[in-house]
Amino acid sequence: MTRRTASAAVLVVTVLFIGATAATAAEIQVCEHKNYGGRCVTLLHGVNDLRDWGMSNTISSFRIRSGNWRMCSAPNLQGTCQDFTRSVSDLSGTRLQDAVSSLRPVRSGSGGGGTAIVVYTAPNFRGRSLVFSDDISDLRRVGLNDRISSVRVLGGRWVLCTDINYVGCRSVSDDIPDLGVIGWGSRISSIREGQNWWNAGGGSRGYGGGYGTGQGRGGYENQLPTVTFFQDPNFRGRSYSTQREVRNLADVGFNDMAASIRISGGRWQVCTDKNFKGQCLVINRDMNELATNFMRQISSIRPY
């Protein structure tokens, strides 16, 4: 490597994620000094608070390599915001000179850029956060696989999936402060904007577990038949959700723990022993308190 003199040195910090496709991903490089000088950071996603990247209130120029971008003067995409479609080599004299605190891609065709979702690594919208306006099929690209604990919906309907490439999914249209309450904390592996997916897959009734009742925006809605076990009666306490059979609930840490069950579509068989043995019961509706012979006795579950 050729060593440069200190006066000519430029520190460039580039954050690129393997597997992102240039044809679809938005990309921007933000820099401390005009004419793309000083420290620069390249982003393929939105950032809710640039203090996390050491770039809050320092940006003087930026290169847009793809997509359209919204920049705001306050964290959480608040304050004075402006959308950009082209690079700007010098923000001097503008309201955003050394004032950008958050930014995100603006999804094309989203009716003014209102479609976006913020994900957080801790409940109650805390921890590391990223903003997505486009689909991401594998959260390993951004170091967030199985790490998301809460989400804030900035617009539109979004589909959260437990596996990469959009497998094992449910739809949300409102904020969820703790995904653990519905058994999905630290389980999300892919995310996509949900309007087209929803239309193709048909509707379903909303889930009323504290995040909406299926009326209005509805909060949290299932796309595939889902069963959710709760450790306490009346759908309270620790929970576990599945959309497929589980032959032994000990494998997922929920053996002999269910005291109430919420059904979001389909018919389900629950059994007191693993591998669908022992006493079994077929259910197709919510049960706010299980009968004595099934109370905290369920060891296996499958669609029926």
What predicted TM-score, i.e. pTM, was given to this entire model?
0.52
Q: What is the CATH number of the domain that holds 237?
A: 2.60.20.10
- Terminal C-alpha separation, the chain: 64
Whether residues 176 and 194 share a domain: the answer is yes
Q: So what's the pLDDT on residue 4?
A: 34
Confidence class of residue 301 from pLDDT cuts 50, 70 and 90?
A: very high
Whether residues 130 and 117 share a domain: the answer is yes
Q: So what's the pLDDT on residue 275?
A: 92
Q: Which pLDDT tens digit goes with each residue over 196-248? A: 443 333 333 333 333 333 333 344 444 567 888 888 898 888 878 887 888 99
> Is residue 79 in some structural domain?
yes
pLDDT of 289 over the 70 cut: yes
Averaged pLDDT score across all residues of the chain: 77
Tallying the residues shown for the chain, one arrives at: 304
Q: So what's the pLDDT on residue 148?
A: 93
Q: How many domains does the chain have?
A: 3
**Cα(31)–Cα(294) distance, integer angstroms:** 61
Average pLDDT (158-177) is 85
> Domain residues for 93?
7-106
**How far is the CA of 79 from the CAs of 70, 84, 99, 244, in angstroms?**
12, 16, 10, 44
Whether residues 12 and 63 share a domain: the answer is yes
Q: What are the tokens at 214?
A: 């299926």
Whether residues 294 and 219 share a domain: the answer is no
Contact assessment for residue 34 and residue 53, using Cβ atoms and an 8 Å cutoff: no
Whether residues 164 and 230 share a domain: the answer is no
**Cα(297)–Cα(73) distance, integer angstroms:** 54
Half-sphere exposure of 15 (CA within 13 A, CB side): 17
> Is residue 2 in some structural domain?
no
DSSP string, 208-255: -SSS--SSTT-SEEESS-EEEEEEETTTEEEEEEESS-BS-GGGGT-T
Q: State the Cα angle at 40 between 34 and 42, rounded to 5°.
A: 125
Q: Which domain-ending residue is among 90, 106, 122?
A: 106
